[in-house]
Amino acid sequence: MKKMKLKKIVLFLLSLAGFFDSSYLAIIDYKHILPPCSLIKGCDLVLTSRFARILGLPMGVYGALFFLALIFILLLENQQNKFFKYFKFLTLIGVVISIILIYIQAFVLHAFCQYCLLIEAIVFTIFILSYPFNSSSR
Amino acid sequence: MKTKEIVIWFAVIVALVGGFWFLINAVNAPPSPSAPVEIKNLPPVSANDFIRGNPSAKVTLIEYADFQCPACATMHATIKKLQADFRNDLKLVYRFFPLINIHQNSLISTQAVYAAGLQGKFWEMSDLVYENQDSWSDNAQAKNIFVDYAKELGLDLNKFNSDINSDSTNKFVTDAENSALNLGINSTPTLFLNRKIIQDPTSYSYEDFKKLIQDEIKAQ
């Protein structure tokens, strides 16, 4: 029980970190600012590429909404233990999209964006942590 | 809902809104135009360069850009406006840095503008290419669009079509790209004002640029 609670807190903190990272990318896109790209060369190439926006919206907006949904599901789950299946489902979608985005960075753009990689790492970690999590066994 | 749950919801919403608000303001920090660094190995302006504006202007802005980069299209409009405001004092030197790995029509757009330049219409073509970037960026037949622009500009189409992919055009573009890479440039647009690099130029507002140029004019 205690372990489960700790896991939920970790998932919550990871989702929060993902939300702020995605929001940062959305904000810099709207302000036409390129972030410092000191860790990995090429993040500016990724963030100004044709994949940086989908349907006119920066990828960061979709990421922020994704993590916001995870946060609210966790809050609802905290009240009634029946929402975790939605969390798992969303996480699975997140993993698929993250794999596609990593593929694009590695094989189409040949450049990586550290802020995007951090978001993708968060999604993978959330996925790994949440899948053994069985809401009915609580 | 229990009081504890209300407190949790409230705390989370405050954290989300507060954090978001902080981010908006944090990335809004004004750029620091102070202490610009002079780049010693920046190639001097030469006969190979495309120059717009008063040749004896006090301020020279050297731009490395890619015709398919959206930030470069925005910068193109900003620089054009700046040149109208500083008619006698600002000249622009445009250098190619096509990001061919990430932009499918980067190379052909650069070749098209260069080919137009061979007929004295470099700036007219670069205006058309930047201003209509959305219409050719993802088009597999972008070359046809550039030929239409050439027609619109009254260019000799036979010469344009042969120049666009000639060995000398390709050599010029490759040399320009290599020169930018040797300089360590890794993003577009990269700007140098009187040989001093402008850090993060896309974060500058029009007024920031104006102030930078005015300071440079005063310093001459």
Domain CATH code at residue A7: 1.20.1440.130
Q: What is the domain range of residue A55?
A: 2-137
Partner residue opposite B71 with nearest CB, options A19, A32, A75: A32
* Predicted confidence (pLDDT) per residue in B138-154, tens digit: 888 999 999 999 999 99
Interface confidence, given as ipTM, is 0.77
In this prediction the pTM is: 0.59
CA atoms within 13 A on the CB side of A73: 21
Partner residue opposite B203 with nearest CB, options A33, A45, A68: A33
**Quick check: A31 and B16 CB within 8 A?**
no
Which of B124, B126, B121 is CA-nearest to residue B110?
A: B126
What's the rounded Cα separation, in Å, for the pair A46 and B209?
26
Task: Kindly report the CATH number that applies to the domain delimited by B37-219.
Answer: 3.40.30.10
Taking residue B159's Cβ as centre, other Cβ atoms within 10 Å add up to 14
For chain B, the structural domain boundaries read: 1-30, 37-219
Q: What is the pLDDT along chain A (138 residues), one digit of tens a residue?
A: 566 788 888 999 999 999 999 999 998 887 766 676 655 666 777 887 778 888 888 899 999 999 999 999 998 887 777 888 889 999 999 999 999 999 998 888 888 888 899 999 999 999 999 887 655 444
Do the Cβ atoms of A82 and A124 come closer than 8 Å?
no
* Predicted confidence (pLDDT) per residue in A25-50, tens digit: 998 887 766 676 655 666 777 887 77
Query: Considering only alpha carbons, which residue of chain B is nearest residue A21?
Result: B23
Chain A interface with B: residues with Cβ < 8 Å: 16, 19-20, 23-24, 27-28, 31-34, 37, 41-42, 44-46, 48-50, 68, 71, 75, 78-79, 108-111
Helix (H) or strand (E) holding B31: none
Between chain A and chain B, the number of residue pairs with CB atoms below 8 A apart is 73
Count of structural domains within chain A: 1
String of DSSP letters for B107-165: HHHHHHHHHHHTTT-HHHHHHHHHHTHHHHTT-TTHHHHHHHHHHHTT--HHHHHHHTT
Partner residue opposite A49 with nearest CB, options B19, B27, B102: B102
Tokens of B192: 């140098």
